[in-house]
Amino acid sequence: MFTASNTKPPQSNEVDTEPRQLSEIDPQEDILSDIDADLELADIPSVDDEQPRPFFRAIGTLKGKIEKDEEKKFWLCLGQNKYRLFIPGYKYLAWLKEHENKPDSSPFLRVYPKYRIIPRKPPEIYFQVVAWAEENIWSEPGIFTLQGVWQFIPQLRTPVISVYRNKDAVDPIGKFSAAHIPVLMRREDDTRPFKFNPKIPKEDLPPRWFIQSVFKFIPSRECWGWVEDIEPPTQRIPRYQKPIKEAPDANKPGQAEHKSYDKGQAHSKSDRDSAAPQKRPGIEESTSEGTKSVSSHPKPKPVIKVVKDSSESVSAATESQAVSKVETESSTPVAATESKTVSKVEKESSTPMILSRSEMIEKLEISESTFYKRMTQAKKETEPPILECDGQRWAYVDNANGKGKVFQLIKDGKS
């Protein structure tokens, strides 16, 4: 029989860092799109440290039959609908054992709601299991507590409760993705969902409201319906981690689809060095037909004057050798200097001036978590943050050609 799990549930915005079993890994489990609207222009009053601080939260209770498919994925059956269940790695073995003992049982589940928006596909609702029990020790099944910002997002016509990561949350991936839960709520007061309009001046933007209410899950509408308030709506938004978006690279096709760094597709430095073309001797000159090699100036042949007197012949040979030596000495440094200058210009021109976040991670040859730690340290030291790689300094600045931030190469103390 399913029994209550002894593991204390983490806060709703915690990130599971424990290793997971292969059978429960879903390659698309955490592809919640970074759909945070551009709300940076809105004034957001923060909560004072001396006052009781509300926090972002989304959690509820469900009950239904559990099924396991051929791919070893678990599904929750609610009426005619099925919803995918995600079990964290540190709970998976206990969950698997309980299901094998009682595969036909219908336990009470304590879950985090997840609403996944995929471009050009229907949205998906799934749940992350926090705890389970045979007897209900939580709220009524179908009842959820949602605490977040009530607003519209570009991808949906229905307003959502945006549950961001709390300020003290930790995310090894460094993305701090938010959960956007669609809700149906009509209120008699002046509270309205926030809708960003770039044409409206900053001072005329409507306020954002932080909602702390009870909602009921409506499977037929694929959303949550408002029941009652836990606390009155407030314009004092708790501090939270802003979701991090990667700046797409126009030169790389498919960059927008690949938002996370894949170690399996990265090449080592030795592989890149071995694949690089070898330098040819001489000066490389760029032309419309390609790059061609230009050799240095050849040494001039000595000119010997033919005279009858042997002494004059010797002097002519000596003079010719002296002229050849002078010309050789004068031409060799010029050619060497020209070669170094061209090589330096070609090297600088081959180095891209702007790198996206994933390109910088590949250039540094580090993991996402290590990159996040280095960025955190860099933000404490300088503004904007600066990272060093191969003797070059890169500043993390706003993207002048689009949204988000990019790494820009610093030259002569200026980026």
Residue 329 lies in a domain: yes
- Whether 175 and 197 map to the same domain: the answer is yes
For residue 133, what pLDDT is reported? 93
Amino acid at 192: R
Q: Between vectors from CA 127 to CA 240 and to CA 154, what angle results, nearest 5°?
A: 55
- Whether 339 and 396 map to the same domain: the answer is no
SS (H, E, C) 64-107: CEEEECCCCCEEEEECCEEEEEECCHHHHHHHHHHHHHCCCCCC
Residue 4 lies in a domain: no
Instruction: Please list, in sequence order, all residues whose beta carbon lies within 8 angstroms of the beta carbon of residue 211, skipping any fewer than 6 positions away.
Output: 146, 147, 148, 149, 150, 161, 185, 191, 229, 233
Residue 382 lies in a domain: yes
Residue 80 lies in a domain: yes
Tell me: cis bond preceding 206? Omega within 30 of 0 counts: no
Q: What are the tokens at 367?
A: 């993991």
Asked whether the beta carbons of 215 and 58 are under 8 A apart, the reply is no
CA torsion angle 100 105 109 112 (round to 10):
60
Residue 200 lies in a domain: yes
Residue where the block lists tokens 């802003």: 242
Of the three residues 192, 219, 241, the one that is the final residue of a domain is 241
Give CA–CA dist 126/147, Å, rounded.
Answer: 18
Q: How far apart are the first and last CA of the chain?
A: 63
- Whether 321 and 376 map to the same domain: the answer is no
- Whether 189 and 302 map to the same domain: the answer is no
Give CA–CA dist 304/166, Å, rounded.
Answer: 89
For the chain, the domain total comes to: 3
DSSP 314-341: HHHHHHHHHHHHHHHHHHHHHHHHHHHH
pLDDT at 268 over 50: no
Residue 258 lies in a domain: no
- Whether 345 and 361 map to the same domain: the answer is no
Q: What are the tokens at 182?
A: 């669609």
Residue 108 lies in a domain: yes
Task: Supply the angle between the helices 368-381 and 357-364 in degrees, to the nearest 10.
Answer: 100
If residue 191 lies in a helix (H) or strand (E), which one and from where to where? none
- Whether 363 and 339 map to the same domain: the answer is no
Instruction: Give mean pLDDT, residues 268-282.
Output: 47
**Is pLDDT larger for residue 359 or for residue 97?**
97
Asked whether the beta carbons of 189 and 233 are under 8 A apart, the reply is yes
Query: Cβ of 56: how many Cβ atoms within 10 Å?
Result: 28
Tell me the backbone φ, ψ of residue 12, rounded to 5 degrees: -65, -15
Q: What are the tokens at 100?
A: 């094998």
**Strand-pair partners of 224:** 183, 217
Asked whether the beta carbons of 169 and 126 are under 8 A apart, the reply is no
Amino acid at 306: V
Give CA–CA dist 85/128, Å, rounded.
Answer: 6
For residue 283, what pLDDT is reported? 45
For a pLDDT cut of 70, what percent of the chain falls above it?
A: 60
Of the three residues 225, 241, 257, the one that is the final residue of a domain is 241
pLDDT at 188 over 90: no
Query: Cβ of 369: how many Cβ atoms within 10 Å?
Result: 13
- Whether 226 and 285 map to the same domain: the answer is no
Instruction: Give mean pLDDT, residues 16-29.
Output: 36
Residues in the chain: 415
Residue of 77, 107, 78, 83 lying closest to 95 (CA atoms): 107
Instruction: Please list, in sequence order, all residues whose beta carbon lies within 8 angstroms of the beta carbon of residue 178, skipping any fewer than 6 positions away.
Output: 32, 34, 35, 36, 162, 163, 164, 165, 243
- pLDDT tens track for 283-319: 444 444 444 444 445 566 666 655 444 444 444 445 5
pLDDT at 53 over 50: yes
Of the three residues 241, 258, 292, the one that is the final residue of a domain is 241
pLDDT at 30 over 50: no
- How do beta strands 81-86 and 124-133 pair? parallel
- Whether 196 and 295 map to the same domain: the answer is no
**Is pLDDT larger for residue 303 or for residue 31?**
303
**Is pLDDT larger for residue 364 or for residue 278?**
364
Asked whether the beta carbons of 191 and 150 are under 8 A apart, the reply is yes
Q: What are the tokens at 374?
A: 């280095």
- pLDDT tens track for 111-138: 999 999 888 888 999 999 999 999 999 9
Instruction: Give mean pLDDT, residues 142-147.
Output: 97
Instruction: Give mean pLDDT, residues 3-17.
Output: 45
Residue 387 lies in a domain: yes
- Whether 162 and 29 map to the same domain: the answer is yes
- Whether 229 and 319 map to the same domain: the answer is no
- Whether 328 and 402 map to the same domain: the answer is no
Give Dmax over CA atoms of the chain in angstroms. 124
For residue 415, what pLDDT is reported? 54
- Whether 213 and 105 map to the same domain: the answer is yes
pLDDT at 59 over 90: yes
Mean pLDDT estimate for the chain = 73
- pLDDT tens track for 379-390: 888 888 888 888
Asked whether the beta carbons of 410 and 386 are under 8 A apart, the reply is yes
For residue 300, what pLDDT is reported? 65
388: containing domain: 353-409
